[in-house]
Structure 1
Amino acid sequence: MTRLRKVKVTHWLQPSKPGMSLMRKKKYHDEQQDVCLSAQTAKNKCLYATSAEELTFIKAMRGAKHVTEAVLCVLLIIQRDTESIRVIGGCRTVVQGEGVDLSCRLIETTEDLEQITWQKSTLKEKQNYYFMLIYPNGDTTFIAPNGLKGRVQFIGNPSENLGSIRITSVRLLDEGTFTCIFSVFPSGAYNTEIPLTVLVPPVVSVTVDVPPVIGENEVVLATCVAAGAKPQAEVKWISGTFGSLLRTMTNSTQHANGTTTVLSHLIGVPTRAANQQQVQCVVNQSALATERSYNYTINIHYPPQSVNITLSEASKATVFLCVADGNPQPNYTWSRVGQPWPVSSVRAEGDILHLLSLSSELNGLYVCEASNPYGRATGSLYVHTSSETSAACWVLLIVILCLIVTAAALVWYWRKYGQCPWNSIMANHQFQAPPQVEEDEPGTSGF
């Protein structure tokens, strides 16, 4: 960028009386303007010179007879031959917390470098503040911290007209316009502006302010929050086949520091079927390398229902389990109806009922109550034992033991004698027929 310099300009004023010479008055004017000769003629024409040759011609016209009564005004601007000298840079974008290099270089000159200066202006501090000065030998001086102390360093090379700096741990407040200024001799100062944009990734959470309770009206089932993002984050939901029963509502809040918070609500009817359904909140934003997904399980609250008491098959002892469907998980309380609790024979632990011994003192009705903040439900168990039943069990046990002993004795006999004991008994037992006597019939005789 070319710097404008004040140069001397001569104004030629018409004398107040004939015969007097022209008077001169010095004035300052900016460069890059045309040289103007104003002649107060009838047409009030103004001639312009844009080159040294035209300027010489116009100066010669001051002595011409046809302009002797005119006011000659010459605005002399020296056409510089240094218009090609400039500082190059470029805009930069960085994610908050990362580092960034701000590069600038002076080109198209062999003039002597006097110094490199850096300025900064932000939304909070709109005025340009000098914060860093770099000398031709590479030494640096911090003019003012300006929030950058300890986080900025010179990474350029003055001998190569390179004035780059590096900022680490970039903050949102660093966003603004940085100006790199090269001062050279004899032409002056040249600069370029480097806009710095800071991106802020969102802080994402999926939750719900008030737990939905089973009902028939639509409520907010889940809320996905993408907080403090710059620029604003894009939020959407993925809910699969369950999504046909849901709808979304999204709103955003702009903060004073330029960040935005987006809230996307997932809305539906809270039913038991909706409980434990899996959904995803998907967030996309330019500060994120890729879009991010956050899983969430819908949690519907409802009172306990369908209390069931079952005998546990996994335990050798007599144990009953009380089970109820409720959310949040119910608390369980056991009680005995109309009779005191048999402390020595029964123990209750949450949803479990232990029968420590079987006796008639356990007889009675036991009730399991399941409760949570939304309601309660009960289930009952009737226990009946008798002493007769116990005696019969003992008799049966003795009979079984006798049979076992008998079987063992038979096996021993078989192994020792090679036959069953009853075979030996049958072999030793002899069956003898009674003797038969023949008698003569009365009245007969032999010869």
Structure 2
Amino acid sequence: MLIHPNGVTKFIAPNGLAGRVQFIGNPSENLGSIRITAVRLLDEGTFTCIFSVFPSGAYTTEIPLTVLVPPVVNVTVDIPPVIGENEVVFATCVAAGAKPQAEVTWKTGAFGSLLRIVTNSTQHANGTTTVLSHLLGVPTKAANQQQVQCVVNQSALVTEKTYNYSINIHYPPQSLNVTLSETSKTTVLLCVADGNPQANYTWSRLVQPWPGSSVRAEGDKLHLLSLNSELNGLYVCEASNPYGRATGSLYVHISSETSAACWVLLVILCLIVSAALVWYWWKYRQFPWSSIVAKAPEQTISISSKTRRHDKVEEGEDDPLAATVQTRKEPEEEEEVS
């Protein structure tokens, strides 16, 4: 790159810098500064500045250019750890393509005593380095969702970078429980299972299928749309994921409202009849059916229809208008009823 006293520049050997180099100096003040934009790794090297002064000659100085490349960082795991007894990789923190090499550490808190860290690096042909730091441990249910942090330091970074990560342990459904939902306004059976990844749910009823119009299965919920005795039975929930399955059950018994009302009316009727019998006995000192066993003789009164005579009735004669009282006995009822 040639810079004339009037500030005009001319590229003699661009070397890939054409269009990215700008002269920002001042020849009259003997300042020959340049600015390089969109810096690349290939730009690294030694730049030579030559001042040609007539008639005294040329003055030369060399300026080294070092290119720093910040790392590209991510925290991941190749194979999700599954609950077991052998040590596996929980997470890997990758600081890729950095120049110079990045420093990678972990913050694990109280959980760190159960973990082990293994770090290695790879040098690339372009001068950059990739660092992989592995977090290892025995996968247990207690390790699931533990919070850790990958911390990266490097000279191209203004401050250290911290990356949060939640350990993800896979395990089959466990502790399955079928309950009646207390938060729903309708009757809903809720199937609760602890598994990772989230389980798929299948509902069924033993002995016979449920009426299609009265029940709706919706994931971990079973909606009982109409309450009647047809829904009685043992309902089974099965939770499954790629690592296993678990089942739970709940027996549902629904009493018919009509049947319950009939029983209530029957009890009330019995109480009324009992009260009436007690009152009748208290007043008459006998029960209504006592007259069937012993009935009193009937008496009838008859009056003659003859014309009354005006003459004196002689003593000893019968008065034709005299009332006669006749007693008529009913045939005696048998004392014993066969």
User: What TM-score results when the alignment is normalised by the length of structure 2?
Assistant: 0.75
Corresponding residue of 1:378: 247
Q: Judging changes above 3 Å, is the alpha-carbon distance between structure 1 residues 394 and 317 closer, same or farther for their aligned structure 2 residues?
A: farther
RMSD in angstroms over aligned alpha carbons? Answer: 1.7
CA offset at residue 158 of structure 1? 1.2
Amino acid at match of 1:325: D
Would the aligned equivalents of 2:172 and 2:241 in 1 still touch at CA under 8 Å? yes
Q: Distance in 2 between matches of 1:393 and 1:287?
A: 83
> 2:260 aligns to what SS in structure 1?
helix
1:238-253 equivalences under 5 Å are 238-253=107-122
> 1:392 aligns to what SS in structure 2?
helix
Match of 2:207 among 338, 347, 359: 338
Match of 2:260 among 373, 383, 392: 392
Q: Distance in 2 between matches of 1:238 and 1:396?
A: 70
Deviation per residue, 1:374-412 (Å, 9 max, x gap): 01111112222343x543257769x9xxxxxxxxxxxxx
Q: Distance in 2 between matches of 1:393 and 1:314?
A: 29
Corresponding residue of 2:20: 151
> 1:256 aligns to what SS in structure 2?
coil
Corresponding residue of 1:197: 66
Q: Distance in 1 between matches of 2:77 and 2:109?
A: 20
CA offset at residue 247 of structure 1? 1.0
Deviation per residue, 1:194-241 (Å, 9 max, x gap): 100011011110111110000111110011000010000000001011
Deviation per residue, 1:421-440 (Å, 9 max, x gap): xxxxxxxxxxxxxxxxxxxx
Corresponding residue of 2:238: 369
CA offset at residue 352 of structure 1? 0.3
Amino acid at match of 1:150: G
CA offset at residue 249 of structure 1? 0.2
Q: Distance in 2 between matches of 1:291 and 1:393?
A: 75
| 2:226 equivalent to 1:357 | yes
| 2:31 equivalent to 1:162 | yes
Q: Distance in 1 between matches of 2:50 and 2:209?
A: 94
Q: Distance in 2 between matches of 1:174 and 1:394?
A: 97
Would the aligned equivalents of 2:205 and 2:235 in 1 still touch at CA under 8 Å? yes
Q: Distance in 1 between matches of 2:47 and 2:39?
A: 14
Amino acid at match of 2:66: T
Corresponding residue of 1:61: none
Q: Judging changes above 3 Å, is the alpha-carbon distance between structure 1 residues 221 and 390 closer, same or farther for their aligned structure 2 residues?
A: farther
Q: Distance in 1 between matches of 2:38 and 2:190?
A: 59
1:134-145 equivalences under 5 Å are 134-145=3-14
Amino acid at match of 1:238: K
Would the aligned equivalents of 2:188 and 2:222 in 1 still touch at CA under 8 Å? yes
Corresponding residue of 1:329: 198
Give the unaligned 5+ runs of structure 2: 268-338
Amino acid at match of 2:153: N
Q: Distance in 2 between matches of 1:380 and 1:310?
A: 9
Corresponding residue of 1:215: 84
Corresponding residue of 1:437: none
CA offset at residue 145 of structure 1? 3.1
User: What TM-score results when the alignment is normalised by the length of structure 1?
Assistant: 0.57
Would the aligned equivalents of 2:51 and 2:58 in 1 still touch at CA under 8 Å? yes
Corresponding residue of 2:95: 226
> 1:282 aligns to what SS in structure 2?
strand
CA offset at residue 353 of structure 1? 0.6
> 2:70 aligns to what SS in structure 1?
coil
Q: Distance in 1 between matches of 2:69 and 2:250?
A: 62
Q: Distance in 2 between matches of 1:215 and 1:136?
A: 76
> 2:60 aligns to what SS in structure 1?
strand
Deviation per residue, 1:76-118 (Å, 9 max, x gap): xxxxxxxxxxxxxxxxxxxxxxxxxxxxxxxxxxxxxxxxxxx
> 1:273 aligns to what SS in structure 2?
helix
Q: How many residues in Structure 1 have an aligned counterpart in Structure 2?
A: 266
Deviation per residue, 1:100-143 (Å, 9 max, x gap): xxxxxxxxxxxxxxxxxxxxxxxxxxxxxxxx110111111122
Give the unaligned 5+ runs of structure 1: 1-131, 400-447
> 1:148 aligns to what SS in structure 2?
coil
Mean Cα displacement is larger for which, 167-176 or 293-302? 167-176
Corresponding residue of 2:148: 279
Amino acid at match of 1:306: S
| 2:149 equivalent to 1:288 | no
Q: Distance in 1 between matches of 2:220 and 2:120?
A: 45
Amino acid at match of 1:307: L
> 1:232 aligns to what SS in structure 2?
coil
CA offset at residue 186 of structure 1? 2.7
